């Protein structure tokens, strides 16, 4: 079965054709990041406009590169939540038009479900149930994946998402948006124990995170040093910051895994590309004898293939929508798909 996947929830316009939820036939991503960098973050108005300009060309290329036409496709999957509403609406409207004009099923896909599904593309043997740490620019969740379409949120951030925290800390150190990758790279050259940064305890849940204090801590270090006329070793600060975030993410995930008896761990989302987090997860899982799945770097960021992969399983579960489908800015991963 061939699914066309369309993604426009943030700053990438993306489309892909995937066979049976597992085999990528094409994966086209048009990124707007260079333009948003000028403003230090994603400007929703600009994102919506650029998606509208790019989407038909991106979808056409995805079909061409897969060597198929719309007539060959069995369903049209689209990210409908969560994300920037003006950005989501472009993908949803376009997918609706395609579905109506071709009389194919329209499949609404939750963005975090699709991040999780990026692993199905890389690992043909991976099947639920498993425990997944989903860490992106907008979300940080520990999710119990009971089946392809049934999820339970075990832990979540109480404030900033992990990616947001990386980007804010990177910005404080003068790195251009989105600074997560640059911070990760510079961290390789630093001493992860040079600075002690705060790790706030979260009341009420063993598995929830809080990241908002970390950015302030980084800013305070920089300001204090500037006032004393001292140089801060940025590589050391990056390495210490990355160690702190990694420890919080890994420890809570391992705690949840132990409590739930989950021995298969999966990582997903843009921050899954983080070298420190990948190594931290590998070490923690090896120590406990857990099986670990890390998405390939090429599938960590937003893309259409993960939407098509999840769309396949949503279609099998009968989760399709009509012409009244709307985009939703904020929606839990557990919500009924529609
Ligand atoms: O999943 P994603 O592409 O978009 C959202 O759904 O939000 O995630 C983007 C986020 C950005 O905050 C970006 O800085 C972060 O993922 N990111 C990283 C790395 N690569 C991307 N953060 C830390 N280290 C990385 N290597
Ligand atoms: Zn994403």
> Is the bond preceding residue 226 a cis peptide, omega within 30 degrees?
no
Give per-residue pLDDT as tens, 119-138. 999 999 999 999 999 999 99
Residue 4 clears pLDDT 70, i.e. is over it: yes
Contact 118 CB / ligand 1 (< 6 Å): no
Closest CA to 325 of 98, 112, 124, 144: 98
Contact 180 CB / ligand 1 (< 6 Å): yes
- Give the number of whichever ligand sits closest to the CA of residue 135: 1
Question: So what's the pLDDT on residue 200?
Answer: 83
Percent of the chain at pLDDT > 70 equals: 99
Question: So what's the pLDDT on residue 215?
Answer: 87
Structure tokens at 187: 């961290």
- Give the number of whichever ligand sits closest to the CA of residue 7: 2
Average of per-residue pLDDT across 130-152? 98
Average of per-residue pLDDT across 284-307? 98
Closest CA to 70 of 107, 102, 47: 102
Give per-residue pLDDT as tens, 213-237. 998 999 999 999 999 999 999 999 9
- Residues 59 and 99 sit within 8 Å (Cβ to Cβ): no
Residue 337 clears pLDDT 70, i.e. is over it: no
Contact 163 CB / ligand 1 (< 6 Å): yes
pLDDT band of 338, cuts 50, 70, 90: low
Average pLDDT, rounded, for the chain: 97
Return d(Cα 19, Cα 38) in angstroms, integer. Answer: 38
Kindly report the protein residue whose alpha carbon is nearest to atom 24 of ligand 1.
274
Residue 242 clears pLDDT 60, i.e. is over it: yes
Cα(61) to centroid(ligand 1), Å: 25
- Residues 73 and 82 sit within 8 Å (Cβ to Cβ): no
pLDDT band of 336, cuts 50, 70, 90: confident
pLDDT band of 259, cuts 50, 70, 90: very high
Q: Name every residue whose Cβ is closer than 8 Å to that of residue 261 and which is 6 or more positions away in sequence.
A: none
Contact 302 CB / ligand 1 (< 6 Å): yes
Return d(Cα 260, Cα 153) in angstroms, integer. Answer: 12
Give per-residue pLDDT as tens, 318-334. 999 999 999 999 999 99
Give per-residue pLDDT as tens, 8-50. 999 999 999 999 999 999 999 999 999 999 999 999 999 999 9
Strand-pair partners of 151: 145
Contact 10 CB / ligand 1 (< 6 Å): yes
The atom of ligand 1 lying closest to the CA of 301 is: 3
Question: pTM to 2 decimals?
Answer: 0.97
Residue bearing tokens 């409590």:
259
Closest CA to 303 of 3, 97, 12: 12
- Residues 210 and 158 sit within 8 Å (Cβ to Cβ): yes
Contact 246 CB / ligand 1 (< 6 Å): no
Average of per-residue pLDDT across 200-214? 91
Contact 155 CB / ligand 1 (< 6 Å): no
Cα(270) to centroid(ligand 1), Å: 4
Closest CA to 248 of 291, 197, 297: 197
The atom of ligand 1 lying closest to the CA of 178 is: 14
Return d(Cα 86, Cα 2) in angstroms, integer. Answer: 28
What are phi and psi for residue 185, nearest 5 degrees?
-65, -45
Average of per-residue pLDDT across 71-95? 98
- Of 139, 241, 271, the one to substitute when testing ligand 1's pocket (max ligand atoms within 8 A of C-beta) is 271
- Of 119, 137, 215, the one to substitute when testing ligand 1's pocket (max ligand atoms within 8 A of C-beta) is 137
């Amino acid at each position: 079965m061939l699914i066309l996947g369309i993604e426009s929830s943030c700053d990438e316009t993306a489309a892909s054709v995937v066979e049976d939820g597992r085999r990528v036939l094409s994966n086209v991503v048009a990124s707007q990041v260079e333009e948003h960098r000028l403003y230090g973050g994603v400007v929703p108005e600009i994102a919506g406009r650029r998606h509208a300009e790019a989407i038909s060309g991106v979808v056409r290329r995805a079909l061409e590169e897969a060597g198929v036409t719309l007539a060959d496709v069995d369903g049209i999957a689209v990210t409908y939540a969560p994300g920037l509403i003006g950005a989501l609406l472009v993908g949803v409207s376009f997918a609706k038009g395609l579905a109506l004009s071709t009389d194919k099923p329209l499949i609404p896909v939750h963005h975090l479900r699709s991040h999780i599904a990026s692993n199905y593309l890389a690992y043909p043997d991976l099947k639920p149930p498993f425990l997944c740490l989903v860490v992106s620019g907008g979300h940080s969740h520990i999710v119990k994946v009971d089946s392809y379409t049934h999820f339970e949120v075990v832990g979540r951030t109480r404030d900033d998402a992990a990616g947001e925290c990386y980007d804010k800390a990177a910005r404080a150190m003068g790195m251009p948006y989105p600074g997560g990758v640059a911070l990760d790279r510079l961290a390789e050259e630093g001493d992860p124990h040079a600075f002690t940064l705060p790790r706030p305890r979260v009341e009420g849940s063993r598995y929830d995170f809080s990241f908002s204090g970390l950015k302030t801590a980084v800013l305070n270090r920089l300001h204090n040093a500037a006032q004393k006329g001292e140089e801060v070793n940025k590589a050391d600060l990056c390495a210490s910051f990355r160690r702190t975030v990694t420890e919080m993410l890994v420890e809570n995930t391992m705690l949840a895994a132990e409590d739930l008896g989950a021995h298969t761990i999966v990582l997903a989302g843009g921050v899954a590309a983080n070298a420190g987090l990948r190594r931290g997860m590998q070490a923690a899982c090896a120590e406990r004898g857990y099986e670990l799945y890390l998405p390939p770097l090429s599938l960590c960021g937003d893309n259409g293939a993960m939407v098509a992969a999840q769309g396949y399983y949503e279609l099998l579960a009968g989760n399709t929508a009509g012409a009244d489908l709307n985009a939703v800015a904020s929606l839990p991963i557990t919500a009924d798909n529609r």
